[in-house]
């Protein structure tokens, strides 16, 4: 999929634009903010403490599958749409803008990892995804480390398969997933596997999270038998490293979408709400921070498409570009979240105002796969070199 | 260096520009050059830079998109290619920044046939230096509050007033000048002139000294100066509209039609190099996690600005046509300021050393660049004004005034 030259416009062409505009229209119609509030925030502190599943709209998901979004990251040869990363970023921005509760991003993430494995078992799973099977990544240990090599599951060889034990944490939309793509440490290797959620010995524990638009869980494996055909790759670490920029792009795109909604919603409020005989936006203490938020969002968005384009071209700078995008998107998200609540004033502090739904989704995404500080630490290792790498040139 | 998606004609020009710059880079300047054209102080600096702009013009790297009859080459889309090549070649900047980026495009939009033929060629070649007479002691951010008066007298105008922050005024032959021709209308009472400066009776240019201790800009006094009506640009009372055209070019909202920036590329790399060379508390500054984070923040903003320029050319990824163009001056000037400030911070104790101290890192570049950066966050409409414009024109918030 590597192309020789930089495409114009980040490779965001007519197909990508059409897909994005269609997504915007579809979600505007199916999930206006009133419907979203009704779906996820009808009652305060609704369901999480009691083991119930957080609400989402399976009917809407069925339509989404019919639209082909689930298979966007699956190549055409495997029954997917094989659209560019730039196109996926455009669509996920709309998903974020509507704060869509769905297994879409977790499934796209799993598909990117499976695709990066480029193996026969991986392609088998990709074909299932293209047909509407949902998936989630189970790659994070209890410590919350985002290093692709760290994992909380170990495997021991048994026959031509493996026996898996341990746990994967911070699994996104875990209760919506038909299967998991996970990693297990086997001696010095990191095994990448695919495991159905109903397999024997698999259990899920629900996390209580503040975000109302998704669920999260801990996947526990107790003597789970993994057959050889479910091993996606024996080089899980490499596979994850290759897929990592794409995973960062997905979360960054969602953040860009939520941030733009927060900006526009707060701007609308600042136009309509009057105090001291003026609309709030008249006051520079309100206007200037909103402009600053816009500047940050635009930076994130430009870096997002740059990163997506790098991935589409197979550029060696993909990871740097994606770290930059995620850092900028996380920080832009944090800033506009902060201002969206503050500038709404008293009403912004209440459950009845919609801004909290986006505030929480954004806060979740800021941390997911590493916040701005984390991304910049990774970036510094690449652009400056690891700490201690600078050769001392004088010892006078 | 790859040149993506150029037509054969453009690719050929790109190759020509690159090769010409490679073969014709000027010898080192006889004296230290300032950071930008608005700080040119001495005759030696001027002569060297004027010669360089003239050679670039002769080579067809400047003014290439202007019509041939006005001294250009009549091409389309060549200037941005030349600008890119100039930027990458690390050659000196174009001295006639006001002429190239402000006067020439404004005259092209609003000028008579005669004015275009008379003024544009010299602005492009740099043979005639231009300065800008917009700011006054009482008309800074509130630019329409112009007090410089022009009163008609036969075929002439009698001009009285006081202009400030006039970069390059001490070398300029011409000034783009806003005057008040009616006291009854704030905006419709303004008229725009192309005013003679050097040696013109009734015009006095006095240098102003900046916080850096350097000069380069001036105050200009008009005392019963006689300016012929043939120097009036566009109609009487249209000065505000014409000034907006100028500012559009100055703030980078339109592709710089004159071209030739020559600014050093990759400012973050320079900061990283500084950090690698600097010991702080016995540890290399490049190993300090706080400094590393700050450096990466700068790198991200710089890359973001470059990618904004790329995205601005993709209408499908822009919600509002002016949203990115109007941010450029704001973000660019604050990026330079924060970069320079970080350089000062990293240099630590050595940041106290200034230009003439032989131990100063990069001959005092960091404190000098930091202090100078306020010129850019204040000029061309302070960044506070830029934020008002963005909030009002792009976000649609109520006007603050």
- Helix (H) / strand (E) containing A37: helix A33-40
Cβ A136 vs Cβ A112: under 8 Å: no
SS3 B167: strand
Q: Are strands A278-279 and A161-172 parallel, antiparallel or unpaired?
A: unpaired
- Would you state the pLDDT for residue B39? 81
Inter-chain residue contact B308 with A385, CB threshold 8 Å: no
Inter-chain residue contact B400 with A287, CB threshold 8 Å: yes
- Closest residue in chain B to residue A381, using alpha carbons only: B292
B298 contacts: CB under 8 Å, gap ≥ 6 = B267, B268, B271, B335, B338, B339, B342
Q: Which class is domain A137-236?
A: mainly beta
Q: Say yes or no to pLDDT of B255 above 70.
A: no
**Nearest CA distance, A392 vs chain B (angstrom):** 8
Q: Are strands B156-167 and B217-228 parallel, antiparallel or unpaired?
A: antiparallel
> Which of the residues B10, B280, B316, B394 would you substitute to probe the A interface, choosing the one with the greatest number of A C-beta atoms within 10 Å?
B316
Inter-chain residue contact A384 with B327, CB threshold 8 Å: no
Cβ A236 vs Cβ A183: under 8 Å: yes
Cβ B299 vs Cβ A384: under 8 Å: no
Inter-chain residue contact B293 with A373, CB threshold 8 Å: yes
Query: What percent of chain B is modeled with pLDDT above 90?
Result: 76
Residues A64, B299: Cα–Cα separation, whole Å: 38
Task: Specify the length of chain B in residues.
Answer: 401
Q: Are strands A216-226 and A202-206 parallel, antiparallel or unpaired?
A: antiparallel
- Would you state the pLDDT for residue B5? 66
Q: Are strands A135-138 and A153-158 parallel, antiparallel or unpaired?
A: unpaired
Neighbours of A264 (CB within 10 A): 14
Task: Give the pLDDT mean for B378-384.
Answer: 89
- Would you state the pLDDT for residue A48? 55
Q: Say yes or no to pLDDT of B141 above 80.
A: no
Q: Nearest CA to A207 among A299, A152, A149, A144?
A: A144
CA atoms within 13 A on the CB side of A11: 25
Q: Are strands B149-153 and A274-275 parallel, antiparallel or unpaired?
A: unpaired
Residues B387, B334: Cα–Cα separation, whole Å: 12
**Nearest CA distance, A291 vs chain B (angstrom):** 6
Task: Specify the length of chain A in residues.
Answer: 396
Q: Say yes or no to pLDDT of A47 above 70.
A: no
> Which of the residues B294, B398, B401 would you substitute to probe the A interface, choosing the one with the greatest number of A C-beta atoms within 10 Å?
B398
Helices (H), B69-163: 78-89, 97-98, 104-110, 113-125
Residues B203, B220: Cα–Cα separation, whole Å: 7
Residues of B in contact with A283 (CB under 8 A): 400
Inter-chain residue contact A390 with B394, CB threshold 8 Å: no
Digit-coded pLDDT (tens) for B42-55: 899 999 999 999 99
For chains A and B, what is the number of CB pairs under 8 angstroms?
Answer: 157
Neighbours of B163 (CB within 10 A): 28
Task: Give the pLDDT mean for A129-138.
Answer: 97
**Nearest CA distance, A71 vs chain B (angstrom):** 23
Task: Give the pLDDT mean for A169-192.
Answer: 96
- Closest residue in chain A to residue B308, using alpha carbons only: A302
Partner-chain residue, chosen from A260, A292, A299, that has the shortest CB–CB distance to B308: A299
Architecture of domain A237-383: Up-down Bundle (1.20)
Separation of CA A209 from chain center: 16
Residues of A in contact with B310 (CB under 8 A): 10, 302, 306
Inter-chain residue contact A291 with B387, CB threshold 8 Å: yes
Kindly state the tokens that stand for A358: 């986006």
Digit-coded pLDDT (tens) for A6-19: 777 999 999 999 99
SS3 A233: strand
**Degrees, nearest 5: CA angle B109-B110-B112:** 115
Q: At B253, is the pLDDT very low, low, confident or very high (cuts 50, 70, 90)?
A: very low
What letter does residue B139 receive in the DSSP assignment? B
Residues of A in contact with B326 (CB under 8 A): none
Residues of B in contact with A4 (CB under 8 A): none
Digit-coded pLDDT (tens) for A61-84: 999 999 999 999 999 999 999 899
Q: At B35, is the pLDDT very low, low, confident or very high (cuts 50, 70, 90)?
A: confident
Separation of CA A362 from chain center: 11
Inter-chain residue contact A390 with B276, CB threshold 8 Å: yes
What letter does residue B394 receive in the DSSP assignment? I
Q: At B36, is the pLDDT very low, low, confident or very high (cuts 50, 70, 90)?
A: confident
Q: Say yes or no to pLDDT of A87 above 80.
A: yes
Taking domain A8-133, whether its CATH number is 1.10.540.10 is answered by: yes
Kindly state the tokens that stand for B252: 């980078």
Inter-chain residue contact A301 with B311, CB threshold 8 Å: yes
Query: What percent of chain A is modeled with pLDDT above 70?
Result: 95
In a 10 Å sphere around its CB, with 0-12 CB exposed, 13-18 middle and 19+ buried, how is residue A144 labelled?
A: exposed
Kindly state the tokens that stand for B253: 């909202």
Digit-coded pLDDT (tens) for B267-289: 789 999 999 999 988 899 999 99
Active-site residue among B250, B255, B334, B384? B250
Residues of A in contact with B287 (CB under 8 A): 387-388, 390
Average pLDDT value for chain B = 91
- Closest residue in chain B to residue A384, using alpha carbons only: B272
- Helix (H) / strand (E) containing B284: strand B283-284
Digit-coded pLDDT (tens) for B302-315: 999 999 999 999 99
A192 bridge partner residues: A183, A233
**Nearest CA distance, B305 vs chain A (angstrom):** 7
Q: At B56, is the pLDDT very low, low, confident or very high (cuts 50, 70, 90)?
A: very high
Inter-chain residue contact A6 with B308, CB threshold 8 Å: no
**Nearest CA distance, B25 vs chain A (angstrom):** 29
In which residue are the tokens 């001009």 written?
B159
Q: Say yes or no to pLDDT of A125 above 70.
A: yes
**Degrees, nearest 5: CA angle A365-A366-A370:** 100
Inter-chain residue contact A299 with B394, CB threshold 8 Å: no
- Would you state the pLDDT for residue B33? 85
Q: At A391, is the pLDDT very low, low, confident or very high (cuts 50, 70, 90)?
A: low
- Would you state the pLDDT for residue A360? 97
Q: Say yes or no to pLDDT of A393 above 50.
A: no
Predicted ipTM of the assembly: 0.94
Inter-chain residue contact B397 with A8, CB threshold 8 Å: no
Task: Give the pLDDT mean for A306-324.
Answer: 97
Partner-chain residue, chosen from A9, A283, A324, that has the shortest CB–CB distance to B303: A324
The secondary structure of A169-196 as a DSSP string is EEEETGGG-SEEEEEEEETTEEEEEEEE
Partner-chain residue, chosen from B5, B394, B400, that has the shortest CB–CB distance to A5: B5
- Establish whether B250 is a catalytic residue: yes
Digit-coded pLDDT (tens) for B285-301: 999 999 999 999 999 99
Q: Nearest CA to A166 among A228, A114, A218, A242?
A: A218
Inter-chain residue contact A271 with B388, CB threshold 8 Å: no
Q: At B6, is the pLDDT very low, low, confident or very high (cuts 50, 70, 90)?
A: confident
- Would you state the pLDDT for residue B266? 62
Q: Nearest CA to B328 among B300, B359, B348, B304?
A: B304
Domain ranges of chain A: 8-133, 137-236, 237-383
B16 contacts: CB under 8 Å, gap ≥ 6 = none
Partner-chain residue, chosen from B5, B316, B394, that has the shortest CB–CB distance to A17: B316
Task: Give the pLDDT mean for A217-234.
Answer: 96
CA atoms within 13 A on the CB side of B302: 19
- Closest residue in chain B to residue A295, using alpha carbons only: B327
B380 φ/ψ sector (left φ>0, alpha ψ -120 to 50, else beta): left
- Would you state the pLDDT for residue A90? 98
Q: Say yes or no to pLDDT of A3 above 50.
A: no
Q: Say yes or no to pLDDT of A390 above 80.
A: no
Q: Say yes or no to pLDDT of A352 above 80.
A: yes
Residues of A in contact with B314 (CB under 8 A): 8-10, 12, 305
Inter-chain residue contact B395 with A281, CB threshold 8 Å: yes
Domains and CATH numbers, chain B: 8-129 (1.10.540.10), 131-250 (2.40.110.10), 267-394 (1.20.140.10)
Q: At A1, is the pLDDT very low, low, confident or very high (cuts 50, 70, 90)?
A: very low
Partner-chain residue, chosen from B296, B330, B388, that has the shortest CB–CB distance to A379: B296
> Which of the residues A275, A302, A309, A340 would you substitute to probe the B interface, choosing the one with the greatest number of B C-beta atoms within 10 Å?
A302
Digit-coded pLDDT (tens) for B162-199: 999 898 999 999 999 999 999 999 999 999 999 999 99
- Would you state the pLDDT for residue A197? 95
Partner-chain residue, chosen from B296, B304, B384, that has the shortest CB–CB distance to A383: B296
User: Rg of chain B's alpha carbons, rounded to an integer?
Assistant: 22
- Helix (H) / strand (E) containing B377: helix B365-378
Residues of B in contact with A335 (CB under 8 A): none
């Amino acid at each position: 999929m590597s192309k020789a030259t930089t495409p114009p416009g980040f490779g965001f062409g007519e197909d990508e634009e059409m897909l994005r505009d269609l997504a915007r229209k579809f979600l505007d119609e199916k999930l206006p903010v009133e419907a979203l509030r009704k779906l996820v925030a009808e009652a305060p502190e609704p369901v999480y403490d009691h083991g119930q599943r957080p609400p989402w709209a399976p009917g809407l998901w069925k339509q989404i599958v019919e639209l082909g979004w689930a298979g966007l990251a699956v190549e055409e040869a495997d029954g997917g749409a094989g659209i560019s990363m730039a196109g996926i970023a455009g669509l996920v921005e709309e998903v974020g803008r509507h704060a869509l509760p769905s297994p879409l991003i977790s499934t796209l993430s799993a598909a990117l990892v499976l695709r990066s494995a480029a193996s026969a078992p991986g392609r088998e799973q990709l074909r299932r995804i293209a047909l509407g099977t949902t998936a989630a990544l189970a790659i994070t240990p209890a410590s919350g480390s985002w290093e692709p090599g760290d994992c909380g599951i170990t495997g021991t060889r048994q026959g031509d398969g493996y026996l898996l034990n341990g746990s994967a944490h911070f699994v996104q939309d875990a209760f919506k997933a038909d299967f998991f793509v996970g990693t297990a440490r086997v001696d010095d290797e990191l095994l990448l596997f695919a495991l159905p959620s109903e397999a024997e010995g698999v259990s899920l524990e629900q996390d209580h999270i503040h975000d109302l638009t998704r669920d999260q869980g801990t996947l526990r494996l107790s003597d789970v038998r993994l057959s050889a055909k479910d091993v996606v790759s024996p080089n899980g670490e490499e596979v994850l490293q290759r897929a990592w920029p794409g995973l960062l792009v997905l979360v960054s795109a969602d953040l860009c979408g939520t941030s733009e909604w927060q900006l526009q919603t707060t701007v609308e409020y600042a136009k309509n709400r009057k105090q001291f005989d003026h609309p709030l936006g008249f006051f520079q203490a309100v206007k200037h921070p909103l402009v600053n938020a816009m500047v940050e969002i635009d930076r994130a968005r430009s870096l997002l498409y740059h990163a997506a384009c790098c991935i589409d071209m197979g550029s060696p700078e993909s990871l740097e570009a994606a770290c930059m995008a995620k850092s900028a998107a996380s920080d832009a998200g944090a800033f506009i979240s902060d201002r969206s609540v503050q500038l709404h004033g008293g009403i912004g502090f209440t459950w009845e105002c919609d801004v909290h739904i986006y505030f929480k989704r954004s806060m979740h995404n800021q941390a997911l796969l590493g916040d701005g500080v984390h991304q910049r630490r990774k970036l510094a290792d690449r652009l400056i070199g690891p700490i201690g790498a600078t050769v001392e040139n004088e010892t006078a | 260096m790859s040149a993506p998606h150029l037509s054969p004609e453009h690719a050929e020009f790109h190759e020509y520009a690159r090769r010409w710059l490679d073969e014709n880079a000027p010898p080192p300047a006889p004296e230290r050059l300032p950071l930008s054209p608005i700080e040119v102080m001495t005759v030696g600096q001027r002569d060297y830079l004027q010669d360089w702009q003239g050679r670039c013009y002769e080579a067809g790297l400047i003014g290439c998109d202007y019509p041939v009859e006005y001294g250009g080459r009549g091409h389309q889309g060549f200037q941005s290619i030349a600008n890119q090549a100039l930027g990458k070649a690390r050659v000196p900047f174009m001295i006639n920044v006001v002429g190239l980026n402000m006067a020439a495009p404004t005259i092209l939009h609003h000028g008579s046939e005669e004015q275009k033929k008379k003024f544009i060629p010299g602005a492009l070649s740099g043979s005639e230096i231009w300065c800008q007479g917009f700011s006054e002691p009482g008309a800074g951010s509130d630019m329409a509050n112009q007090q410089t008066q022009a009163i008609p007298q036969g075929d002439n105008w009698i001009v009285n007033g006081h202009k400030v922050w006039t970069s390059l005024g001490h070398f300029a032959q011409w000034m783009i000048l806003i005057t008040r021709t009616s006291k009854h209308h704030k905006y419709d009472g303004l008229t725009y002139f192309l005013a003679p400066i050097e040696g013109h009776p009734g015009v006095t240019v006095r240098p102003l000294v900046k916080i850096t201790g350097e000069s380069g800009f001036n105050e200009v006094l008009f005392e019963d100066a006689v300016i012929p009506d043939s120097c009036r640009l566009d109609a009487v009372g249209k000065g505000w509209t014409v000034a907006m055209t100028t500012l559009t070019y100055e703030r980078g909202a339109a592709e710089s039609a004159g071209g030739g920036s020559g600014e050093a590329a990759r400012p973050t790399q320079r900061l990283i190099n500084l950090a690698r060379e600097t010991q702080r508390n016995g540890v290399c500054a490049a190993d300090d996690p706080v400094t590393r984070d700050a450096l990466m923040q700068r790198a991200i903003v710089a890359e973001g600005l470059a990618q904004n320029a790329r995205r601005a050319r993709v209408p499908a990824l822009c919600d509002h046509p002016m949203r990115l163009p109007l941010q450029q001056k704001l973000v660019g000037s604050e990026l330079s300021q924060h970069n320079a400030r970080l350089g000062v911070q990293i240099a630590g104790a050595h940041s106290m050393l200034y230009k003439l101290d032989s131990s100063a890192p990069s001959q005092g570049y960091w404190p000098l660049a930091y202090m100078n950066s306020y010129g850019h966050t204040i000029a061309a409409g302070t960044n506070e004004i830029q934020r008002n414009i963005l909030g009002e024109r792009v976000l649609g918030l109520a006007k603050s005034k």
